[in-house]
Structure formats: C-alpha cells, structure tokens
Chain A
Amino acid sequence: MTDQAPLLDAEPKSRFSRKTLNFLAFGLVSVIALLSLTGTESTENTQQESSAAQTAPPENAIRAIEQISPNIDLNWQSPEVHHWVNEAGARVYFVASPQLPMLDIRLIFNAGSARDATKPGIARLTNALLAAGTKQLNATEVAAGFEKVGAQFGLGAYRDMALIRLRSLSELNQLMPALDLLANIVSSPAFPADAITRDKNQMLAGIQHAQLQPGSIASKAFYQALFPDHPYGIAGAGTEDSIPLIKAVDLNKFHQQYYASQNLTIALVGAISVNQAKQIANRMTRDLPTGAAAAPLAKSPIGAPQRQHIEFESNQTHILMGTTAIRRDNPDRFALILGNEILGGGALTSLLGQEIRQKRGLSYSVSSHFIAMQSQGPFQISLQTRNDQTQQALDAILQVLSQFVEQGPTQQQLDDAKRQMAGHSLFSNASNAGIASQLGSVGFYRLPIESVFKNQLQVQQVTREQVKAAFQHYLDPKKLTIITVGSRKNSATDAPNSSQPDQ
C-alpha cells in the first residue's frame, strides 16, 4: 500500500537486512491480488477506443464517466524545491513540508556495489557497518540513540547508491540528538572487528539463502549475462569467496574514498526552514572525508544475447529476459517509460498482463521495466509460471513484445498511459516519503530540479511515433538474453499440485 513513484524504477529492491526472514514470517498475512482485465481480447484496441466516453453509453453503463473529464490537472501548486551545493561540496535538495511535525532526511553516496571492484560485497558491508558504532559508541548505543527519541533509521546499498535514511520528529530536542548521531556514524564509523565478523557471517548466510531462491538465482544470472565485464555484473551481496577476503582496511579505504562530501546527495523534506536545512546539511558533511566525486562508470556493454537455463527443483520456473538499455539521463526515457507503462508497467491492464495473466492464466504476476541507472541499465521482463508452461509463456511474451515494437501503441493506449502516469505522479508527490525519494534520485542522477514535480510535462508531450521509434531503437526482440530457472524434469508431470522437491 505504499505510494510508489512512477519514474523511480532505478534500483532493484535488494537490500542487506537482518529482518528479512522475520518479515516472511509475520508480514504475509494479507494476500494482495493483482488486478485483472479481460475485456479486450485483441491488442488492436478498437474495442477500447469505442469504450471511451465519446459514444452514447448503453442503458447499464457507468454514469460517472459522463460527468468526469479523464484529464488530470497538472498545474497543481507544487511546493518549491530548494537546491544548493554546500560548503563541503554536497548537493542538497530541500522541500519544506510544515503540516506534520517530522523530518525525512536521506544521504545518498555514489558508493553502491558498482564500486566493489575485486571484492564483491564491500559496498554493502561498509553501508551495513555504519550501524555498528563509532569510536565512542557501540552498536547498541547507536540503535538506542535513535530509538529513545523515536527516530527511524535505515540503511541500504544497491548497484549505484549507498543510502542512509532517517525519519525523526522535528521538535528540536528530539531532532538534534538524532541528527548528531546520524552525522557521527556516517563520518566516523569504527568498523569494530567483532561486528565485521558478525555481519560477514550474516552476509554468508544471506548468500546461502539466496542460492535456494529461484528469483535471486535468475536475477544474478541475468546481470552476469548482460554485464560480464562491467561493474553492474558484480554480485552486490558478495560471494562465498569474496566475503572472507574483506578486511577492516578495505572497509576504511572504501569509506574514505566514497563516503566523501563531494560524493554525496542530501535530500530533506519536513517541517523545518531553509536556514535550518542549510545548518543540518553542513552538520552532516562537517566531519566527512574530503575527496572527489566518484569517477563515471564505464559504458555498459551490449553483448551477444544469451539463452541460459538453470535447473532448479521448484514448482514454478522464473523467467527473466531483456537487454541493456538506457542511462537515467537519457532523453528517450520519457518515451520508453510511457511505452513500458502500456507494454508491461504497473497495472495489469498492460498488454503483457492481458495476454499472460488474463487471457491465458499463465502467471500471477508479469511485468516489464526499464531500470535506468548511472550507466546503461537493463530493460527486463519477468514472470513466474508452472514449470510445464514455460515455453508457452516465452512464446506469448515474445509475440506481445514483437508486435508492440513493430507497431507501437494506439492513440487510445497512449492517452490512457499518460493519464495513468500523471496520476502516479500526483500520488508520489503526496507524501514526504515520496518527495524525499524523488529528491534523492534527481540529485543523485543530476537531473534538472524541475523534474521533481514537473517531469509529467515531458511525458505528456510524447507521441506514438516517438514511443515506436524509441522501442525499435533500444529493443530487438530477436536479441534478448533469456534466463530460466526451474525444473524441466518436473514439467513432464502435469500435476498442478506437484510435490515439494526432495533434494
């Protein structure tokens, strides 16, 4: 039920978290059904066009659509975005949000696993160990320091970004201790030996766990196939070989180089003034290492497509297919993201959702994404299906994709997708958390600050021809890398309730 930002499909949701198993246990009480559309059997949407408001509705039709214009007013009075580079060279973004007595702050370093170099896992371990203490404070004192003032503190490292996030009450006697503590742990981590050993053990346990998750196996294989000699091919979680090699000296060096103020974006949203935001930003960078912004990553390769099957005893086969596509600052991204909304984005009214789930009942969830990053990231389509339906699903995906790339969207599809994206944009601007997330991305990827609240203006300009041209330029359906993880052995049996694998 979180409000999701539409343009922020930048980073995979893999985080180092001790609480993952916990969530498995307690978090899955509700079964959320993805949505459905079966109305139009054909991807030539003549039916959809006739169901728009221009024709007289039949007796029983939904009346509300006669009263409401589907167009969304994009001139909503959005708050002002303040941006400056502070005295230490950090790029700061601030939006005042006085209604609730709280502050969200995000520190984003260009220190993701793309910087791991020869020892995969360093970026995540460095990030995780920020919570393990400083020279003055141990891990429990750090945690208690946040918790006793009710602040929520979070960490995460992805391919591009290393993130530190704090949410605190904005009353000063609660806010100031939390901010001081935040600045201290980011600037002066102690990397204590016992914590290094403990977190390395937890990462090793995480690697073992991932080896039995078909989704994780597929994702790892996909990135390795797409980015064989590129930093995006690095396993951010580390490997069983690399984790033991990581020493305190590596972590200190990584921190000195990449947790530098010049390599930092700060996003602030909350009930504080611009002046306070300036003071807070300066406090954050006061004791940070000084150094340069991280060097740009090498251009991502577009290698030969690969077809790889990994045998795994499970009920379902995980399919991941795609290719290298775009950087975050690519001007074609508006056309591609809009087109993707139609092809396989958010809602299950997408072409892939209709064909794979609604028409054929092959999968519970199917989706496609452009993961636009500092360097060219992937376009990917993912789904899970019962083992014996794998080929059928692959054929169906390729058919939908080929047809879309060849023909582009209809005008009705384009108009609907524009409204959907305008709506998403409103929703993600409606909470402090949503705005902070956007500020962080805009700052990190050095996009114009107008794109925080106004990126829709560009999306709304996109034409059918631009979508079609962009898809044809970036996607050749015949040259996709395809990874499947599942059991070919099991697929001979047609039993829908096949038994748990026995080894």
Chain B
Amino acid sequence: MTNLPHFRLTNWFFKTLFSALFALLITSNGYASAFNNTHEYTLSNGLKLIVKEDHRAPIFVSQLWYGIGSSHETTGMTGVSHVLEHMMFKGTTKTKAGEFAELISRYGGTHNAFTTRDHTGYYQLMPNDRLELILELEADRMQNLRIDEEQFQRELKVVMEERRQRTDDRPTSLAYEHFTAVAFAGSGYSHPVIGWMKDIEGLTAKQAMDWYKLWYAPNNAVLVIVGDLDPKQVYAQVQRHFGSIPRIEFPQNKPITGLGYRSGQRRIEMKLKTRLPHLFLGFRAPNVITAEHPWEPYALELLVGVLDGGFSARIEKELVRGTEVASSAGAGYNLHSRGDSLITISGTPNLQKGFTLDDLENALIAQLDRFKTEPVSELELARVRTQLIAAQVFSQDSISAQASRIGKIESLGRSWRSLENDTAQLQAVTTEQIQQVAQKYLTSDALTALRLLPIKTATTQPLSHSSL
C-alpha cells in the first residue's frame, strides 16, 4: 500500500487526540454535538450496534470491531490475530475463498481490514442500498469460517512478505519494534502486531482456527455503521442476521500490566544499514482506560500538545528551528488503549550542523524537565484546546473517521458517550497538574531509550531482527 500523504501538520496529533472536546463546539460555533443522530442498540447475545446518521451522500461505512489483537497473544504465537484477519477472506461454509472480496467489488464497494494491539476490525464502504449484503457476509464469517491448510500456508507466505516490506527492510520500523518490545517488556504490548518472523513461520491452521473460536463472537464485537441509512431499519436487519449467533465465554480480558512505571532505565543501541541516526525516548504512563486518577491522562495529553501540537509548538519552534539540534523530531501519546500508553519522543539530530545523538537527547530531556519546573503558559494551552475543537469539526467530514472514533472506544469497553466528557476533563486541567504529571511520569528511572546508528563498516556478524 502507498504511504499516507504526510503534510507538514502533525497528523498524529489529531489522530491521537481525537477523543475530546465536543460540547465546546456549541459555544464556539453554534454547532451541535458531534454525536447528533447517534443510536445505540445491544442484542441479547451481547452484540453492540451503534448507528450514526450522516445523510450528506448516499453511502455508508460499516465497521465490525472485535476485541482481540496482538496484545492478547502469547509468546511463540505472536501474529496469529493478524494472520486470522487475512484468513477471514478465505471462505466459510457458505462462501468460497475470495468470494467475500469478489462480492464487495462486484457490488461497487471498497473494503479492508486492520489489526492493532487491541482490536481486529473489518470495514466496508458501500452505496446505501446494499447494507443487507454486508450484514449477511459479516454474520456469516463471524460464525462459519473455514481454514484450509493449503490456503493457510500460502497466506503465511504473503504475511511474511508483508513483514519484510513493512518492517525488516525499514530500519526505523525495525528499531521502533525493538523499542516497543523493551518499553513494554513483560506485557502483551511487547509483541509486534504482525508478529515476530520466527513465530509467523511456525503458525498453523489449527492455531488460527482455535484463536477464531476463542474470540470471534457477538459478545466480543461492536458493529458501527455511519451513513445515509435509517437506524430503525438497520437495527431490524442486524437483529435478523446476527440475532441467532450464540454468545460464548471467552477468557477474562485481563488488564495489561507488565512492569511498574519506574522500573529502571533501559537503553538499547541498534546498528542497522541506515544513513541517519535516530533516537526514541519512551515513558510508560496511564491513559483514560487505565488511569487510577482520571485527570492525569488529560494533563498528559495537553503536555504532549504543548510539546509538539503543530509547527508553533516547542519542539518545532525551539529544537528544529531555534537551536536546530533536531533535523526532525516529534512526540506522541495515545489517550485510549487497553493497557498503559507510552509517551514517545523521537527524532534525528541535525548532522549538517554537527549535532549528535547526545546533543539531541540532552535537548529533549531538557524540554521534558522544563515541564516539571515551569508552568506552561495560558497561551500555549489555549492553542492546544482550540486545535482540538477544530479537529472535532474536521473529523466529521469523513464517515470512516466518525465510525473509527466510536468503534475504538466501544471495543475498549467504554461508551462513545464518554468521549463527550473528555471536553470538560480537558478544560479542567490546570497548569499545576501538567507539572505534576511531568514530575511523576517523565523520570529517568522510567525511561526506555533506543539509539539507532548507521553501520559504518562491514561487519561479519549478522544482526538478528526477529528476536531481541
């Protein structure tokens, strides 16, 4: 697949901060809530259905989210969720291999699927007179999947190509995979979503089938439909197709814990075939789902926004321009995930100006320390809040983005309605609270640091990249 277009704006910011600030729109724009016309249903077998009306064009998007991802996997069989996602297109007792894709294409739709640490999702974009087809196909593969051994082996080869393409031939991706593995050591978040290569090689059709039987069920799924449809009719159709699928008992969804927040500093140095050195710094921290103190994630969210919420934020202003110690740098934090998040700061030193990885790390750490001693300005906070409000309006332009926000939070076991509370939570954060979370989580004994260095000369020792 082609890369997403990258504009100069920090897209991650709007992606990770999606969940915020709707009520404000009423005051700032005379614009009603982003969740107007949203309807929620739960079937007796536990399937959650959320329908959001958007009548701008005669189409809809359907997203079926299963609460299963790479973080649920165990050592030795990483990647099984993702391979299963591929096999979901390879036939059921009602359809032959490939028929799913063939029918969607024939009926003018677009579709795909994704696997993350927390979820596996399947989506289709279709003209609005053919929901029936989607529901029948999705209900079918929720219960009737077949996995043929030969098909499985062939698909495994495709997944290995996918891994080579995405990770093994990309030094920065490979480094990030190792960085994550160490930062989340001892938890399911240490697994790469696609799986370690050796694990992928060893997966069997039976393992994939067992995984399917264990997790694919109406009571572990959320169906989100956004578009030009009548919610009552949608509900009736969903009831008809999914209503008789039995619920299952699946394993307790244990929270992801792993090591404590301040479990000692970890440093990794990787040498790969790259021209540019790169630095990753990570600090584990709670998010909205895992937090003991509900205000802390919102304070962290604003902190990261002050640091890198655009081209007037501190990293760009002071480190990329300013001292020019960084050729590029950025920061990120995920407000919603099943386990703790990682506040990640990364960048490349400006070699032309003679700066080193040491210089860059010192500059970034100094920026973090500044949050501990010096309150952020009201001006900076106002900017971050305004950007969040605007981003909420902008996200309404895409029916897929609307569905994703709902599906993600719902499949983590929280109501989409809780997204509306985020507004007040973000507004309530004080500059002192931002100082407090900096002091609590951005500490040297919580740091994971990875340095990616170019290999200068040929060595005879190959570097394994499928295990640590």
Interface check A292, CB cutoff 8 A: no
Q: Are B113 and A62 in contact (CB under 8 A)?
A: no
Interface check B445, CB cutoff 8 A: no
Q: Are A364 and B276 in contact (CB under 8 A)?
A: no
Q: Are A25 and B312 in contact (CB under 8 A)?
A: no
Q: Are B161 and A384 in contact (CB under 8 A)?
A: yes
Interface check A275, CB cutoff 8 A: no
Q: Compute how far the CA of A168 lies from the CA of B394 in the bound complex, rounded to whole angstroms.
A: 8
Q: Compute how far the CA of A432 lies from the CA of B401 in the bound complex, rounded to whole angstroms.
A: 13
Interface check A54, CB cutoff 8 A: no
Q: Which of A120-171 contact B (CB under 8 A)?
A: 128, 131, 139-144, 146-156, 165, 167-169, 171
Interface check A474, CB cutoff 8 A: no
Q: Compute how far the CA of A207 lies from the CA of B276 in the bound complex, rounded to whole angstroms.
A: 11
Q: Are A33 and B86 in contact (CB under 8 A)?
A: yes
Contact stretch, chosen from B204-212, B346-354, B369-377, B423-431: B346-354
Q: Are A26 and B12 in contact (CB under 8 A)?
A: yes
Q: Are B400 and A3 in contact (CB under 8 A)?
A: yes
Q: Compute how far the CA of A209 lies from the CA of B165 in the bound complex, rounded to whole angstroms.
A: 17
One digit per residue, 1 when the CB lies within 8 angstroms of any chain A CB and 0 when it does not, for chain B 446-467 equals 0000000001011111111110
Q: Are A101 and B6 in contact (CB under 8 A)?
A: no
Least CB distance, B450 to chain A, in whole angstroms: 10
Q: Compute how far the CA of A37 lies from the CA of B347 in the bound complex, rounded to whole angstroms.
A: 40
A420-B96 CB under 8 A given contacts A30-B116, A35-B101, A62-B133: no
Q: Compute how far the CA of A181 lies from the CA of B462 in the bound complex, rounded to whole angstroms.
A: 53
Which of B1, B4, B94, B161 touches A23 (beta carbons < 8 Å)?
B4
Interface check A100, CB cutoff 8 A: yes
Interface check B229, CB cutoff 8 A: no
Contact stretch, chosen from B40-48, B169-177, B409-417: B169-177
Interface check B250, CB cutoff 8 A: no
One digit per residue, 1 when the CB lies within 8 angstroms of any chain B CB and 0 when it does not, for chain A 204-248 equals 110011011110000000000000000000000000000000000
Which of A20, A167, A429 touches B328 (beta carbons < 8 Å)?
A20
* A residues in contact with B390, CB < 8 Å: 149-152, 168-169, 174
Listed residue (B107, B114, B154, B197) with the most chain A CB atoms within 10 angstroms of its CB: B107
Interface check B76, CB cutoff 8 A: no
Q: Are B168 and A431 in contact (CB under 8 A)?
A: no
Q: Are A36 and B110 in contact (CB under 8 A)?
A: no
Interface size, chain B (Cβ < 8 Å): 146
Q: Are A143 and B98 in contact (CB under 8 A)?
A: no
* A residues in contact with B157, CB < 8 Å: 361-362
Q: Are A208 and B136 in contact (CB under 8 A)?
A: no
Interface check A10, CB cutoff 8 A: no
Q: Compute how far the CA of A153 lies from the CA of B176 in the bound complex, rounded to whole angstroms.
A: 28
* A residues in contact with B466, CB < 8 Å: 497
Q: Compute how far the CA of A151 lies from the CA of B394 in the bound complex, rounded to whole angstroms.
A: 10
Interface check B260, CB cutoff 8 A: no
Which of A2, A313, A362, A384 touches B4 (beta carbons < 8 Å)?
A2
A201-B327 CB under 8 A given contacts A65-B133, A419-B107, A500-B272: yes
Q: Compute how far the CA of A72 lies from the CA of B109 in the bound complex, rounded to whole angstroms.
A: 10
Q: Compute how far the CA of A226 lies from the CA of B206 in the bound complex, rounded to whole angstroms.
A: 49
Least CB distance, B8 to chain A, in whole angstroms: 6
Which of A28, A61, A144, A502 touches B312 (beta carbons < 8 Å)?
A144
Interface check B51, CB cutoff 8 A: no
Least CB distance, A3 to chain B, in whole angstroms: 7
Interface check A433, CB cutoff 8 A: yes
In chain A, what residue has the closest Cβ to B70? A31
Tell me the interface secondary structure of chain B in the complex.
mixed
Interface check A29, CB cutoff 8 A: yes
Contact stretch, chosen from B216-224, B283-291, B316-324: B316-324
Q: Which of B100-126 contact A (CB under 8 A)?
A: 101-103, 105-117, 123, 125-126
Which of B9, B93, B382, B464 touches A60 (beta carbons < 8 Å)?
B93
Least CB distance, B195 to chain A, in whole angstroms: 9
Q: Compute how far the CA of A142 lies from the CA of B9 in the bound complex, rounded to whole angstroms.
A: 13
Q: Are B162 and A364 in contact (CB under 8 A)?
A: yes
Interface check B203, CB cutoff 8 A: no
* B residues in contact with A2, CB < 8 Å: 4, 398, 400
Q: Are A150 and B94 in contact (CB under 8 A)?
A: no
Least CB distance, A398 to chain B, in whole angstroms: 20
Q: Compute how far the CA of A493 lies from the CA of B105 in the bound complex, rounded to whole angstroms.
A: 39
Q: Are A147 and B321 in contact (CB under 8 A)?
A: no
* A residues in contact with B31, CB < 8 Å: 101
Q: Compute how far the CA of A13 lies from the CA of B107 in the bound complex, rounded to whole angstroms.
A: 29
A496-B165 CB under 8 A given contacts A37-B101, A144-B312: no
Q: Are B125 and A427 in contact (CB under 8 A)?
A: yes
Q: Are A147 and B58 in contact (CB under 8 A)?
A: no
Which of B108, B317, B348, B394 touches A72 (beta carbons < 8 Å)?
B108
A33-B401 CB under 8 A given contacts A26-B330, A208-B276: no
A423-B169 CB under 8 A given contacts A101-B31, A101-B393: no
Q: Are B7 and A156 in contact (CB under 8 A)?
A: yes
Interface check B23, CB cutoff 8 A: no
Which of B114, B165, B171 touches A212 (beta carbons < 8 Å)?
B171
Least CB distance, A488 to chain B, in whole angstroms: 16
Q: Compute how far the CA of A142 lies from the CA of B311 in the bound complex, rounded to whole angstroms.
A: 9
Interface check A454, CB cutoff 8 A: no
Interface check B440, CB cutoff 8 A: no
Q: Compute how far the CA of A149 lies from the CA of B351 in the bound complex, rounded to whole angstroms.
A: 35
In chain B, what residue has the closest Cβ to A423? B108
Q: Are A433 and B397 in contact (CB under 8 A)?
A: yes
Q: Compute how far the CA of A31 lies from the CA of B135 in the bound complex, rounded to whole angstroms.
A: 24
A38-B140 CB under 8 A given contacts A15-B5, A502-B460: no
Q: Compute how far the CA of A215 lies from the CA of B352 in the bound complex, rounded to whole angstroms.
A: 25
Which of B94, B197, B329 touches A61 (beta carbons < 8 Å)?
B94
Q: Are B106 and A24 in contact (CB under 8 A)?
A: no
Interface check A442, CB cutoff 8 A: no
Q: Are B102 and A349 in contact (CB under 8 A)?
A: yes
24 A-B pairs (CB sep. < 8 Å)? A3-B400, A15-B5, A15-B6, A18-B327, A19-B11, A25-B280, A36-B98, A36-B155, A40-B98, A62-B103, A128-B8, A141-B312, A154-B8, A155-B8, A169-B393, A198-B320, A198-B321, A212-B171, A315-B164, A347-B101, A347-B105, A361-B161, A423-B125, A432-B397
Known A-B contacts: A33-B113, A146-B310, A147-B387. Give 5 more (CB < 8 A): A17-B8, A65-B133, A72-B108, A143-B311, A147-B309
Partner-A contacts on B (CB < 8 A): 1-12, 14-16, 28-31, 56-59, 82, 85-86, 89-90, 93-99, 101-103, 105-117, 123, 125-127, 129-130, 132-133, 135-137, 140, 151, 154-162, 164-166, 168-174, 176, 193-194, 197-198, 201, 272-276, 278, 280, 309-313, 316-317, 320-321, 324, 327-330, 332, 344, 346-348, 350-353, 382-383, 386-387, 389-391, 393-394, 396-401, 404, 455, 457-466
**Top 9 A-B residue pairs of the complex, sorted by shortest distance between their CB atoms:** A150-B390, A423-B108, A154-B7, A37-B98, A499-B462, A143-B311, A361-B157, A22-B330, A430-B57
Partner-B contacts on A (CB < 8 A): 1-4, 13, 15, 17-40, 48, 51-52, 60-65, 67-68, 70, 72-73, 76, 97, 99-102, 128, 131, 139-144, 146-156, 165, 167-169, 171, 174, 195, 198, 201-202, 204-205, 208-209, 211-214, 313-316, 346-349, 357-358, 361-365, 384-386, 416, 419-420, 422-424, 426-427, 429-433, 496-497, 499-503
